[in-house]
Every structure is written in structure tokens, then in C-alpha cells.
Amino acid sequence: MIKYEGRNYSLDQNETVLDCLLRHGIAPPYSCKSGLCHTCLMRATQGTPTSDSQKGLKQSQISQNYFLGCACVPNEFMDITLPNSEAFRSITTVLNIAQLNDSVLRLRLKKPDNFNYFAGQYVTIYNNNGIGRSYSLASVPGTDDFLEFHIQVIPNGTVSNWIKQAVSVDDSITIGEAIGSGIYTNDNLKQSIALIGTGTGLAPLYGILRTALLKQHKGDIRLYHGSRSSANLYLQDALQQLANEHSAFTYIPCISGAEPLPEALTAGRANDVALKDIVNFKKWRVYLCGNADMVKASKRSIFLAGASMQDISADPFAHA
């Protein structure tokens, strides 16, 4: 049993809080329904959220009984409410919108005052109807004076198409807090790092890479960015320039589709190329970002190839 806005609702067996509310005709904010976007953030004013429903939340949120409705199957009575939107959202300004390739936009926003984040985290961007989608940050705190996102425009995408068609420079836009634990830490500057991503999974990897280079990371750093066609790659020149400037960094762009490839591109899926290239991932730190199926399969394969599970950071992208 749960209580929401003064009314009690019975849950079916193994039903989440979000699914229960939707089944009863209540539509709280939500998006991916897989625990990734944090759009369905709720708070328990009575009862204790399950640990699974608090994964990825900040400690300050956990201590206040916030949880993800899509991941919470209650094991006790809970009285729940939606969070105060003003407490977790900021209004900022669009600085720049640019086309990185045919389907990816670069969106730069003014960094709001007191907005804190780490490279590799993600932020929910809300359209003018209050519908949110989460996008990874490609910018680096303390270096970039803006927030940068790489937005893949999805056919009929509620937020991505709104950004492409209706958002202009100097417009106001609402964003949520920075969330996510897949960040660079410099506790072992000599540890080798593998960055493996597909599509706009490059965004958080780009931020993590530049942070590591700024921290003068000593270990080997390899970035495997995969796409089906060469036309869908982006930031190639910037990444190759970083590779030219830093001997410890290697950039490996990978193409899985069938097309003639120049010498600079590698044939194959990014994760397959990385597994063939490195073979033994023992003592490597690995970041996986992008296609959800790729991330799931790669996490298992890389663990079996010797990586410690605590050294694998997985950020699967799921479309609403």
C-alpha cells in the first residue's frame, strides 16, 4: 500500500510505485522507466525506500528519503510526494547550438551560479511543457565556463526535437541537478584507462578524458568511439589533436558498418575492438557509455577479461 496526495493505492505483486500510480491514472513526471534519467524522483514522508530505488542518488538525497519511483517495489507502507521542483532545478540561458553531424547537436548553456558537477555526470533538460530527458555533460568543471551537451536528435523525440526546432540562443531553459557516479577520480594516476562508447556516449567520455589529461594522468588512456558509419562520428579532429599533444592518449574511432575505411578508422564495434586490443583488463579502469545493449554486454565481457567490477563504470543510454 502507498499513499499519494492523501489517497491510498494498492500495489500489485512486484509492482513499482511509478507503475502503480500510472495504473491508477496518475501521471507523475517520468521518462526512461529504467532508473537512468531520475525524472521520476520522489520522496517518502513515511516509510523507507528500498536500496535499489536509491542507487545513483546523492547522499544528501538519500538522507532525505528521496527515491526513484520506477525502481521502488515497496516492502512496507509508504506515504510519498513529489519533490519541490525548485529545490532541484535551475533556469539558465542558451549560449550556443551547433550541428556536430547530421543527427547530433552541441548545446552549450550558461553555468548557473552554485551549479556543481563532475565530468561524466548527466543532467535532465526540461522542455517548455516540463517534460525532461537526461543528457550527459561533455564539459569540464573549472575549465569550461559553460555546460556542454551532445544531443542526438531522435525521430519524434519530445525533448531533442524541441531543442532542434524551437530553442534559440539567449532562450531560457530549465535543467536539473548533475547526477551520476561514473566520474574520473585521480586516486591512482598510473592506472590505465579505457573509454568505450557509441554515439553520444562520447559526451561523458570526452569530459572524463580532458579531466584526466588536465590532472596529468600518467597511465595509458585509450578512447574507443564507435559508430555504424563514418558520417556519424564527430569531434574527430579535436580528439586526434589531443592524441597528438599527449603521448599517453590514443584515439581509436571504430566503424561497425560495411564501407571502405581510410587508415585512420578501425573496422568493428568499439567494444570488440577494445577487447581484441587490450585482451587482459586486469588493473584497468573502464568507462562504458552509449547503447544500452553494448554497455551491458561489454560490462560482462570486460569483467571476464580480468577487470574488477569496481573498476567498471557503466552508463547505458535508454530512449524514452
pLDDT digits (tens, 9 = 90+) for 71-107: 999 999 999 988 765 567 899 999 999 999 999 999 9
- pTM for the structure as a whole: 0.80
The reply to whether domains 88-179 and 193-317 share a CATH topology is no
**Phi–psi pair at 35, nearest 5 degrees:** 80, 10
For residue 34, what pLDDT is reported? Answer: 81
pLDDT digits (tens, 9 = 90+) for 28-74: 888 778 887 777 889 999 999 999 999 888 777 888 899 999 999 99
Single-letter residue type at 294? M
Instruction: Please identify every stretch of the chain with a pLDDT value under 50, giving residue numbers as ranges.
Output: none
Measure the CA–CA gap between 29 and 44, rounded to whole angstroms. Answer: 16
> Which phi-psi region, left, alpha or beta, contains residue 47 (left: φ > 0; alpha: ψ -120 to 50)?
left
Report the half-sphere exposure of 112 (CA within 13 A, side-chain side). 18
For residue 104, what pLDDT is reported? Answer: 97
Architecture per CATH, domain 193-317, reads as 3-Layer(aba) Sandwich (3.40)
Cα angle value 157/161/167 (rounded, 5°): 145
**How large is the angle between the packed helices 202-214 and 236-245, nearest 10 degrees?**
20
Measure the CA–CA gap between 166 and 161, rounded to whole angstroms. Answer: 8
Homologous superfamily (CATH) for 88-179: Translation factors (2.40.30.10)
Domain 2-83 CATH class label: alpha beta
Closest CA to 126 of 180, 174, 187, 58: 174
Contacts of 257 (CB under 8 A, 6+ apart): 228, 229
Closest CA to 121 of 209, 188, 207: 207
For residue 277, what pLDDT is reported? Answer: 95
Domain map of the chain by residue range? Answer: 2-83, 88-179, 193-317
Contacts of 286 (CB under 8 A, 6+ apart): 193, 194, 196, 302, 307, 311, 312, 313
Measure the CA–CA gap between 67 and 52, rounded to whole angstroms. Answer: 9
Report the percentage of the chain scoring pLDDT > 70: 98
For residue 28, what pLDDT is reported? Answer: 85
For the chain, where are the alpha helices, taking DSSP H only? 17-23, 59-62, 85-88, 160-166, 202-214, 236-245, 270-278, 292-304
The SS3 assignment for 290 reads: strand
